[in-house]
Structure 1
Amino acid sequence: RWQPMGWLFVLAACGILAFYAVLMGWTGVTLLQSALAGLPQDMGAAEEFFAGLSGGRTALLGQLISLLLTALVVAGGVQKGIERLSRWGLPLLFVVLIALAIWASGLEGAASGYRTFLLRWDGAQLLDPTTIRNAFTQAFFSIGTGIGCILAYAAYLDRRAHLPREALAVVGMDTAVGLLAGMVTFPVVMSFGLSEVISSSTLGTIFIALPTGLSSLGVSGQVVAVVFFALAYLAAITSAVSLLEVPVACLIDRLGWSRSKAVWVSAAVIFVLGLPAATSLGVLGWMDSVFGGVLLILGGLLLAVLLGWVLPSRFEDDLSSSGAPKVVRQGLMLLLRWVAPPVIAFGLLVSVWDLLRSWFG
């Protein structure tokens, strides 16, 4: 009866990776541009570069190479591929982000960047439907909930692993990396007067404002840009790996395919699905809203209902075998049954309403 939920996870993961690979391609091309040809010297040059980056052969080639790299990692298996990448890649990402954040704190506009984007309280935003939709989407995507990533990885987890502690570690590290990225980006944006560029688009921050601002620092700015985009690409690869593992694990489990066959067939299908996004920003935005928004949140809601109401004993047994204290188990079950479903349902309804409003006025 709940099998369709599993296929929903596969559909959402494939849909997200289809357009996410396009964004990965943009990041990779920008990295190469920063390292080999230098940074754009003004806003006009940056916008011209982005226009060429976001369509045509460049976007398709970047998408293809990014999917190939992701497939190579997943084809190596959980231990030889995914675990090896995460073991050295993620600590490196964290350490270099700290170094970049320290560097950015010395910029002239650092304090203003912190106040404007990170430390300013605006209660009205809590009632803004777009803010609510973006918050749910970011939270669910960044920790792999709602698309089956957690379920795919949990299949390889030791049953004695302390689940609450693992969950806290994932959420804590994810939040820390997000804050560190903001502490790098926003001081640069404010230091070079580029805040207007990012007012309506995250893409404007990463691919237009950031390179333009760093170009004024000369060689040091180019070095920082190369390091930043290299880290961004590494982080994107780790996320893409978790997304590709979802359909791969499904094909291995349901059809008995070999890992290699499942990986390359999945990657090929996802590449084809992403072709419209690689050639049209409008399609990319639509796919982001549907797959990375509505389906993602819907998957999280169904998962909460399944574990909290349909199979609560299974979840409690897993918590018990992991060594979680009784009070922790009871608290988690209370949240899972009575808090998570209505809150996620609210987020889903608001997200659907906000999207319909933006599409049809």
Structure 2
Amino acid sequence: MNQSTTRETLASRLGFILLSAGCAIGLGNVWRFPYITGRYGGAAFVLIYVLFLVILGLPVMVMELSIGRASKKNIGLAFQTLTPKKKGWPVYGKFAIVGNYVLMMFYTTISGWLFSYFFHMLKGDFSGRDAQAVSSFFSSMLGNPLGMTFWMLLAVILGFLPVARGLQSGVEKITKYMMIGLLALMLVLAANSLSLKGGAEGLRFYLIPDFSRMAENGLFEAIYAAMGQAFFTLSLGIGSIAIFGSYIGKEHRLTGEAVRIISLDTFVALASGLIIFPAAFAFNIQPDAGPSLIFITLPNIFEQMAGGRFWGSLFFLFMSFAALSTLIAVFENIISFWIDTKGVSRKKATLYNAIAIFLLSLPCLLGFNVLSSFQPFGAGTGVLDLEDFIVSSTLLPLGSLIFTLYCTWKYGWGWNAFLDEANSGEGLKFPHGLRFYFKFILPAIIIGLFTKGYWDIFIK
């Protein structure tokens, strides 16, 4: 029987948008975006960031969705399905699937941390702890491989359970409720932060443009940071967005759908700043970057806040939802590859991959304790840094470059075939007149990002 006639589809347009947004919305929205926004001048940085979302993130997302919808396959098979006589392109499809595995090798561990913190915050284990004790709690968690293994395994199980249930009854239904819950939690948390005495100063810091602050840190660095955040926040380049394109019909043009997905992703990023900055300023705590913001700084803030145990529990529930939405989306991409290429049932593919992801996640987890002597990029780095580099600095930009070239050059799928797919249906059209930009300038920008990522790691 022909695969395309039996392929599962999503039940609703809302399900597609929430699933795709759930894949894009991740931890980078919450702990990286607010920090770099404050560092590079608040609203001034946001304006540059939104510009790059439109000129960089949006077109690549439309291209990835188009490849998925036209092929009705996962990224591992999409290129050879669309252009079977053009060799070479399908090779990247396999690398993209590998990228999904590598992403999950560290994302499951961080998700486990969030589940752990939600449990301990709800239980009241942070009550009465001073700043040093909260910091020690995080350190002791990293030093306990058995405890981290439990929480990582829970993340793997919770991520794969909806996938095992099926596309509509599991992935779509559960993600829909979870994303609605995530958005509701954000609004409640933001309202609470904005009501704190002294929070207005944090709001000014976040939302009023400060070009002098941007100049202090370097205009070029601010532009590069905005470009990088706009690009990486959408999880483009490894087919985790394309898979949901393969599950939808041609009723709506893909540019409009991509605008909706990116708008939802941006809303979450902006709302994260509304939660974090007023709260940090209200208690005179400077927000930091990276894990310390989520696992040390914010628990200290909640500890000082009236009803802090309640608000802290809600915050880590929100963070858990953000992480879990990405796990489910990427797991679905991996499972669809197995179903399409190996011909195995969804439940068998889920079981095999749950075991594989669990085992593959152990090196990252052990990198904080048993394997801490392995420091691939110098002192203070570990397995997580290496895995993150493979995905964020290598496969995401390379994959996006390949999608762009494939959709705009005659040696690939070609501009006309791409436009026909992207503009099928009703809604916002992909701009035909900007072909030169998409064919030459956009690839140059992506190559620049890729080169800068390697320069910063190996030469700077």
TM over 0.5: yes
Looking at structure 2, the residues matched to 71 and 125 of structure 1 have their Cα atoms a distance apart, in angstroms, of: 43
- Please name the residue that 2:314 is paired with: 227
Alpha-carbon spacing, 1:79–1:141, altered in 2? closer, same or farther (3 Å)? farther
Cα-to-partner distance string for 1:270-320 (whole Å, 9 max, x where unaligned): 222221211224211222222233221211111111112221233112123
- Please name the residue that 2:424 is paired with: 321
Deviation at 1:334, TM superposition (A): 4.8
Deviation at 1:335, TM superposition (A): 4.4
1:80 to 169, 172, 189: 169
- Please name the residue that 2:338 is paired with: 251
Query: Match for 2:230: what amino acid?
Result: A
Structure 2 matches for 1:123-142, cutoff 5 A?
123=215, 124-128=217-221, 132=224, 135=226, 138-142=229-233
Contact 1:109 1:187 in 2 (8 A): yes
Looking at structure 2, the residues matched to 25 and 65 of structure 1 have their Cα atoms a distance apart, in angstroms, of: 7
- Please name the residue that 1:107 is paired with: 196
Contact 1:26 1:54 in 2 (8 A): no
- Please name the residue that 1:194 is paired with: 285
Find the residue that maps to 1:96 and give its secondary structure. Answer: helix
Cα-to-partner distance string for 1:133-164 (whole Å, 9 max, x where unaligned): x6555434432311211111111011222211
Deviation at 1:221, TM superposition (A): 0.9
Number of aligned positions between the proteins: 351
Cα-to-partner distance string for 1:88-112 (whole Å, 9 max, x where unaligned): 2212211221121111012233233
> Do residues 286 (structure 1) and 372 (structure 2) align?
no
1:306 to 395, 406, 422: 406
Alpha-carbon spacing, 1:323–1:21, altered in 2? closer, same or farther (3 Å)? same
Alpha-carbon spacing, 1:142–1:73, altered in 2? closer, same or farther (3 Å)? farther
Structure 2 matches for 1:1-361, cutoff 5 A?
1-39=88-126, 41-55=129-143, 56-117=145-206, 119=208, 120-121=210-211, 122-123=214-215, 124-128=217-221, 132=224, 135=226, 138-195=229-286, 198-199=287-288, 201-218=289-306, 220-281=307-368, 282-309=382-409, 310-311=412-413, 312-324=415-427, 328-331=430-433, 333-357=435-459
Looking at structure 1, the residues matched to 162 and 228 of structure 2 have their Cα atoms a distance apart, in angstroms, of: 26
Deviation at 1:2, TM superposition (A): 1.0
Alpha-carbon spacing, 1:83–1:332, altered in 2? closer, same or farther (3 Å)? farther
Looking at structure 1, the residues matched to 265 and 313 of structure 2 have their Cα atoms a distance apart, in angstroms, of: 23
If each structure's helix is expressed as a fraction of its own residues, which one has the higher value?
Answer: 1
Alpha-carbon spacing, 1:335–1:244, altered in 2? closer, same or farther (3 Å)? farther
Looking at structure 1, the residues matched to 200 and 241 of structure 2 have their Cα atoms a distance apart, in angstroms, of: 37
Deviation at 1:188, TM superposition (A): 1.7
Contact 2:240 2:333 in 1 (8 A): yes
Q: CA RMSD, aligned part only?
A: 2.1
Deviation at 1:4, TM superposition (A): 1.6
Looking at structure 1, the residues matched to 421 and 202 of structure 2 have their Cα atoms a distance apart, in angstroms, of: 44
Cα-to-partner distance string for 1:42-97 (whole Å, 9 max, x where unaligned): 11111111012224112111111101110111112221112112222212211221
Find the residue that maps to 2:452 and give its secondary structure. Answer: helix
Query: Match for 1:214: what amino acid?
Result: F
Contact 2:252 2:427 in 1 (8 A): no
Query: Match for 1:148: what amino acid?
Result: G
Contact 1:38 1:222 in 2 (8 A): no
Contact 2:138 2:296 in 1 (8 A): yes
Structure 1: unaligned runs, 5 residues or longer: none
Q: Which deviates more, 98-107 or 115-124?
A: 115-124
Looking at structure 2, the residues matched to 297 and 51 of structure 1 have their Cα atoms a distance apart, in angstroms, of: 33
Looking at structure 2, the residues matched to 137 and 242 of structure 1 have their Cα atoms a distance apart, in angstroms, of: 22
Looking at structure 2, the residues matched to 47 and 209 of structure 1 have their Cα atoms a distance apart, in angstroms, of: 9
TM-score, with normalisation over the residues of structure 1? 0.90
Alpha-carbon spacing, 1:57–1:140, altered in 2? closer, same or farther (3 Å)? farther
Deviation at 1:246, TM superposition (A): 2.0
Deviation at 1:227, TM superposition (A): 0.6
Contact 2:201 2:278 in 1 (8 A): yes
Cα-to-partner distance string for 1:312-342 (whole Å, 9 max, x where unaligned): 233112123223566x441564543233211
Looking at structure 1, the residues matched to 458 and 359 of structure 2 have their Cα atoms a distance apart, in angstroms, of: 27
Query: Match for 2:445: what amino acid?
Result: V
Query: Match for 1:184: what amino acid?
Result: I
Contact 2:303 2:309 in 1 (8 A): yes
Contact 2:163 2:331 in 1 (8 A): yes
Q: Which deviates more, 267-276 or 163-172?
A: 267-276
